[in-house]
């Protein structure tokens, strides 16, 4: 039995996994822990690092204070996928496998694929102009989801959470800077990796995930309808893909 570490993306936190985290834990049969990045969620008053290496260092420090069996397995979305990648590259003995969802990185994708041009005005308004929690969360839901855009209960939950745990514009910009400047520099992990994406992703072109899979020689699956937030749009499909892939892997040694 190993521990799965779940990492979210830009300005999002453990709360945004919703029911997925518990459903995934039941399906996979291993313990699951969700980490919040500094600046997000329960840590919204902290300052976010401006590099993926800095975010990784914080994740490892946070995990050191928790009961955890190594090597861990990582399930990471978007910005979280970059942190997971750097974790595999810098500390390969600590990671048994990783699932990357809707992520991208240089030089495997161009800037207009890593963030679709039609998403730029929305992201720009969210980062640079003050908005109410209601307006901000409506924009985020439209941008990241294709199948849950009209879920009023979900939206109300996100709005309430944002009011209680606001992410500052400074921290949002710091996280965006970390994501945009991340570069593999020709490196690739030796760790087993599964890459997932939604064909309807309005934020990141799914070709980014396919290029990662091609460059690393790993498995990829594209949901035909879902948006950027696959665990939100179709949790059952996402869990089935991961469980099937995971069961085919050799067992990881534990420390």
Cβ proximity of 10 and 179 under 8 Å = yes
**Residue 218, helix vs strand vs coil:** coil
pLDDT of residue 8: 97
Residue-level pLDDT, tens digit, the chain, 255 residues: 799 999 999 999 999 999 999 999 999 999 999 999 999 999 999 999 999 999 999 999 999 988 888 999 999 999 999 999 999 999 999 999 999 999 999 999 998 999 999 999 999 888 887 678 999 999 999 999 999 999 999 999 999 999 999 999 999 999 999 999 999 999 999 999 999 999 999 999 999 999 999 999 999 999 999 999 999 999 999 999 999 999 998 876 655
Q: What are φ and ψ of residue 97, in 5° steps?
A: -165, 170
Peptide bond into 107 cis (omega under 30): yes
Structural domains in the chain? 4-247 (3.40.50.1820)
pTM: 0.95
- Nearest to residue 221, comparing CAs of 236, 203, 202, 199? 199
Sheet holding 95-101, edge to edge: 32-35, 4-7, 72-77, 95-101, 193-198, 219-223
User: What pLDDT, on a 0 to 100 scale, did the predictor assign at position 199?
Assistant: 98
DSSP 36-68: PPTTSGGGTTSPPPSSHHHHHHHHHHHHHTS--
Q: Using an 8 Å Cβ cutoff, are 18 and 6 in contact?
A: no
What are the phi and psi torsion angles at 229 (to 5°)? -90, 80
Q: Among residues 55, 33, 9, which one has the least CA distance to residue 232?
A: 9
- For 244, the token pair is 């099937």
**Residues with Cβ within 8 Å of residue 90, at least 6 apart in sequence:** 53, 56
Angle at Cα 88 formed by Cα 87 and Cα 94, nearest 5°?
80
CA 167 to each of CA 49, 54, 241, 244: distance values in angstroms, whole numbers, following the listed order: 14, 18, 32, 36
Exposure of 236 by Cβ count < 10 A (0-12 exposed, 13-18 middle, 19+ buried)?
Answer: exposed
What CA–CA distance (Å, rounded) separates 151 from 63? Answer: 33
Contact between 78 and 228 under an 8 Å Cβ cutoff? The reply is: yes
């Amino acid at each position: 039995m190993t521990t799965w570490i779940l990492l979210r993306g830009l300005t999002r936190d453990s709360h945004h996994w919703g029911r997925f985290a518990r459903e995934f834990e039941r399906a996979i049969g291993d313990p699951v822990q969700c980490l919040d990045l500094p600046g997000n969620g329960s840590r919204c008053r902290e300052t976010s690092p401006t590099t993926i290496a800095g975010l990784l260092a914080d994740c490892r420090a946070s995990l050191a204070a928790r009961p955890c069996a190594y090597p861990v397995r990582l399930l990471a979305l978007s910005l979280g996928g970059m942190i997971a990648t750097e974790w595999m590259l810098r500390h390969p003995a600590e990671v048994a496998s990783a699932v990357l969802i809707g992520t991208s990185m240089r030089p495997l994708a161009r800037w207009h694929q890593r963030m679709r041009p039609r998403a730029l005005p929305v992201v720009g308004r969210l980062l640079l102009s003050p908005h109410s929690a209601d307006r901000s969360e409506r924009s985020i839901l439209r941008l990241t989801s294709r199948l849950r855009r009209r879920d009023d209960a979900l939206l109300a939950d996100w709005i309430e959470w944002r009011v209680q745990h606001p992410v500052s514009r400074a921290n949002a910009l710091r996280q965006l800077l970390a994501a945009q400047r991340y570069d593999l520099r020709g490196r690739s992990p030796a760790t087993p990796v599964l890459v997932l994406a939604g064909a309807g992703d309005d934020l990141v072109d799914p070709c980014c995930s396919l290029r990662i899979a091609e460059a690393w020689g790993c498995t990829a699956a594209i949901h035909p309808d879902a948006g950027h937030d696959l665990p939100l749009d179709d949790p059952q499909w996402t869990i089935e893909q991961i469980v099937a892939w995971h069961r085919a892997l050799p067992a990881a040694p534990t420390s």
